Structure 1
Amino acid sequence: MIRTACKDDASRIAEIHIFGWRSAYRGIIPDSYLFSEISVNGRFSSFNDSNEHEKDDLYVCEEDNIIKGFMKSGMCRNEDKLDAYELWGLYVEPLMKREGVGSQLLRHCEKVALEKGCRENVLWVLEDNASTRQFYKKHGYETDGSEKIMEKFNAKVIRYCKKITGDGEKK
């Protein structure tokens, strides 16, 4: 079940976020960052201090009272796509990957986009994150040629886009 996140979800979201980063980005982002500069406690504090659950579109996938993944999204912040909806992050508990949680969250993102009047979803993926790129391609997302560098890590990110219709399918 996908539902809107609440403040009580903060600790579980923080765990999934940090463990998801460590699992997905190891070998792409330096270990010194993944294992020293970020922490579950730090992410938990950031979540609570910023009231993310009130300001952004933040959803969790919960099954059997266990939060298995989350997504954070909102109106696109890219100057050339201001009428699009953007998926800012989608993370699944690493031990629960390949159970369909990510696909459920992505479909929900597309549904929310349509509810907000958007007909396109966009997201950014690290170029070296092959498995995540494949996941989005499998769901109909394509690169549009836009890229930028995450200066902190000197890592390239690539933009993926998908035109969506009322049934969430690619046009």
Structure 2
Amino acid sequence: MIRIRRARPADAAAIAAVHVASWRTTYPGILPDAYLAGLSPLRLAASYHRGMTDRRQAAATFVAVAPAGPGDDGPRIVGFSSGRRLESGPPGIALAQSEIETLYVLDDWRDQGIGRRLMRAAAAHLAAVGSRSVMLWVLSANPSRWFYQRLGGRFAAAGTVAVGGRAVPQVALLWSPIEHLLQATARADGA
């Protein structure tokens, strides 16, 4: 059974490994090949570690932990999400009080409800710290963009982000009020 819990600084290396693996399988043809090949788990781990120890803007990271399988040393992190309060909404998204910054799940663990549970953990945390709305940026060509739309994310803005020296189109999706995302990620069976 997959367990969702708040990430600890000791999880940083495993979170970085999920990040790298997810980007390399999701973004070929969308992001520059050289950029994907050069992703550094070590640098990303340091960045995630800093993020988990710096609690400004009510930042929080959540992990999906799978039980140990054959050949595993112990339970392993198979996905994660993170979110934070915004000091002010991005241009064109003044309603957004918080942002879900990341959501990544390893390919072999997709389509099992893990992404939905990680989104719920981040949204519940943000609601608990007083956020009434939440947004996220998703690359326009991201094949998983439908997931956020199915959860009720409404188009709020379009823009670009520089990745590997290339301007990549992205869109912002908004849930206002945040309860719309909490309802969309709730399961009837309470899981």
TM range (shorter): 0.7 to 0.9
Superposed, 1:66-145 pairs within 5 Å as 66-76=76-86, 78-79=89-90, 80-81=93-94, 84-129=97-142, 131-144=143-156
**Aligned residues: CA RMSD:** 2.0
Runs of 4+ in 1 over 6 A off after TM superposition: none
Amino acid at match of 2:155: T
The 3-state SS of whatever aligns with 1:156 is strand
Distance of 1:105 and 1:88 partners within structure 2? 12
Structure 1 counterpart of 2:43: 42
The offset of 1:167, in angstroms, is 8.3
TM-score, normalised with respect to structure 1: 0.87
The separation in 2 between residues aligned to 1:3 and 1:42, in whole angstroms, is 23
Residues in 2 aligned to 1:148 and 1:122: alpha-carbon distance in whole angstroms: 14
> Which stretch has the larger CA shift, 161-170 or 104-113?
161-170
User: Residue 21 of structure 1: CA displacement?
Assistant: 1.0
Match for 2:182: what amino acid? Answer: G
Which runs of 5 or more residues in structure 1 are unaligned?
none
Distance (whole Å) between structure 1 residues aligned to residue 18 and residue 76 of structure 2: 12
* Residue from 20, 23, 30 that aligns with 2:22: 20
1:7-64 deviations in Å (ceiling 9; x for gaps):
211111010011111111111001110002x12222223334xx21122311111132
* Bigger proportion of residues as helix: 1
**Offset, 1:94:** 2.0
Q: Which position in structure 1 is the counterpart of 2:189? A: none
* Residues paired across the two proteins, number: 165
Q: Name the counterpart of 1:61.
A: 64
Q: Does the CA contact (< 8 Å) of 1:75 and 1:82 recur in 2?
A: no
Q: TM-score, normalised by structure 2?
A: 0.78
- Contact preservation (8 Å) 2:152, 2:181: no
- Output one character per residue of 1:133-159: Cα deviation in whole Å (capped at 9) or x when no partner: 100011111112x11111332111100
Q: Structure 2 vs 1, CA of residues 127 and 83 (structure 1 numbering), >3 Å: closer, same or farther?
A: closer
User: 8 Å contact 1:4–1:59 — kept in the other structure?
Assistant: yes
Give yes or no for contact 2:161–2:167 (8 Å, CA) kept in 1: yes
